[in-house]
Amino acid sequence: MVDQERKDDNKDLRNKIASWSPELKAGSVPGELPHAGEGMDRKLKKRRFPPRRIAAIGFVTMFIGAILYQIFFGDHTAKLNVQKERITISMVKQGLFQEFIPARGTVLPILTIYLDALEGGRVEEIFLEGGTMVEQGDPILKLSNSELELRVMTQEASLFEQINSMENTRILLETQAINRQQNLINIEHEIQRAKREFDKNEELMKRELISRKLFEESRDDHKFALKRYKFMMQTVRQDSLYRQGQVAQLEASVRKLQLNLEAVKRNLDNLVLKAPVRGQLTSLNADIGELKGKGQRLGQIDVLDGYKLRAQIDEFYIQRISGGQEASYEYSDQVYKLNIKKVYPEVLNGQFEVDLEFSSGTPHDIRRGQTLHIRLALGDLTEAMLLPRGGFYQVTGGNWVFLVDPSESEAIRRPVRIGRQNPEYFEVLEGLENGERVVTSSYDNYEEIEKLILK
Q: Is residue 441 part of a domain?
A: yes
Same domain (yes/no): 179, 231:
yes
- CA dist 419 and 414 (Å) reads 16
Q: Which residues contact 348 (CB under 8 A, 6 or more apart)?
A: none
- CA dist 310 and 193 (Å) reads 92
- CA dist 119 and 266 (Å) reads 10
Q: Is residue 55 part of a domain?
A: no
* DSSP-based three-state secondary structure for 156: helix
Same domain (yes/no): 353, 414:
no
Give the range among 3-12, 27-36, 358-367, 422-431 with minimum mean pLDDT: 27-36
Give first-to-last CA distance, the chain, whole Å. Answer: 82
433: confidence class by pLDDT, cuts 50, 70, 90: very high
Q: Is residue 292 part of a domain?
A: no
Provide the domain limits for residue 11.
Answer: 2-46
Residue 415 has pLDDT above 50, yes or no: yes
Fill in the amino acid letter for 33.
Answer: L
Q: Is residue 67 part of a domain?
A: no
Q: What are phi and psi of 338, to 5 degrees?
A: -135, 160
Same domain (yes/no): 153, 244:
yes
Give the range among 3-17, 45-59, 132-146, 205-219 with minimum mean pLDDT: 3-17
* DSSP-based three-state secondary structure for 385: strand
- Stated pTM of the model: 0.51
Same domain (yes/no): 259, 210:
yes
Q: Is residue 130 part of a domain?
A: no
Q: CB neighbours (10 Å) of residue 279?
A: 22
Q: Report the CATH number that the domain containing residue 335 is assigned in CATH.
A: 2.40.30.170
| Residue 42 confidence (pLDDT) | 55
| Residue 35 confidence (pLDDT) | 47
Same domain (yes/no): 151, 263:
yes
| Residue 28 confidence (pLDDT) | 45
Residue 31 has pLDDT above 70, yes or no: no
Instruction: Quickly list DSSP for 407-422.
Output: TSSEEEEEE-EEEEE-
Same domain (yes/no): 311, 387:
no
Q: Is residue 166 part of a domain?
A: yes
Alpha carbon 350 to its chain centroid, in Å, reads 12
326 vs 99, 313, 329, CA distance in Å? 12, 14, 11
- CA dist 96 and 202 (Å) reads 117
Fill in the amino acid letter for 145.
Answer: N
DSSP symbol at 97: E
Residue 237 has pLDDT above 60, yes or no: yes
DSSP symbol at 442: -
Q: CB neighbours (10 Å) of residue 425?
A: 21
Total structural domains within the chain: 4
435 vs 200, 385, 386, 421, CA distance in Å? 131, 10, 10, 19
Give the range among 45-49, 90-94, 174-178, 248-252 with minimum mean pLDDT: 45-49
Q: Which residues contact 136 (CB under 8 A, 6 or more apart)?
A: 275, 276, 277, 278
Could you read off the pLDDT of 156-193 as tens digits, one per residue? 787 778 778 777 877 777 787 788 788 888 878 888 88
Q: What are phi and psi of 195, to 5 degrees?
A: -65, -40
Residues in a beta bridge with 284: 299
Q: Is residue 314 part of a domain?
A: yes
Q: What are phi and psi of 99, to 5 degrees?
A: -80, 125
Q: At what angle do helices 146-206 and 212-269 cross, to 10 degrees?
A: 170
66: confidence class by pLDDT, cuts 50, 70, 90: low
- Residue pair 304/131 in contact (Cβ under 8 Å)? The answer is no
Q: What are phi and psi of 98, to 5 degrees?
A: -140, 130
Same domain (yes/no): 8, 90:
no
Q: 82 or 6: whose pLDDT is higher? A: 82
Domain boundary among 350, 377, 404: 377
Fill in the amino acid letter for 450.
Answer: E
| Residue 32 confidence (pLDDT) | 46
Sheet holding 272-274, edge to edge: 272-274, 139-144, 121-126, 291-292
Q: Is residue 127 part of a domain?
A: no
Give the range among 196-205, 310-319, 336-345 with minimum mean pLDDT: 196-205
115: confidence class by pLDDT, cuts 50, 70, 90: very high
| Residue 312 confidence (pLDDT) | 92
Same domain (yes/no): 348, 441:
no
- Residue pair 316/322 in contact (Cβ under 8 Å)? The answer is no
70: confidence class by pLDDT, cuts 50, 70, 90: low
Nearest to 322 by CA among 392, 275, 377, 246: 377
* DSSP-based three-state secondary structure for 307: strand
Same domain (yes/no): 157, 248:
yes
Residue 23 has pLDDT above 50, yes or no: no
Return the percentage of the chain with pLDDT > 70, whole number.
86
Same domain (yes/no): 341, 254:
no
Could you read off the pLDDT of 342-384 as tens digits, one per residue? 999 899 999 999 999 998 888 888 888 899 999 888 878 889 9
Average pLDDT of the residues in 44-65 = 67
Q: 6 or 389: whose pLDDT is higher? A: 389
Sheet holding 451-454, edge to edge: 79-82, 451-454, 410-415, 400-404, 437-439, 89-91
27: confidence class by pLDDT, cuts 50, 70, 90: very low
- Residue pair 318/344 in contact (Cβ under 8 Å)? The answer is no
Give the range among 76-80, 136-140, 386-390 with minimum mean pLDDT: 76-80
Same domain (yes/no): 156, 261:
yes
Average pLDDT of the residues in 132-142 = 92
Give the range among 111-120, 139-148, 234-243, 300-309 with minimum mean pLDDT: 234-243
Average pLDDT of the residues in 431-440 = 93
Same domain (yes/no): 246, 229:
yes
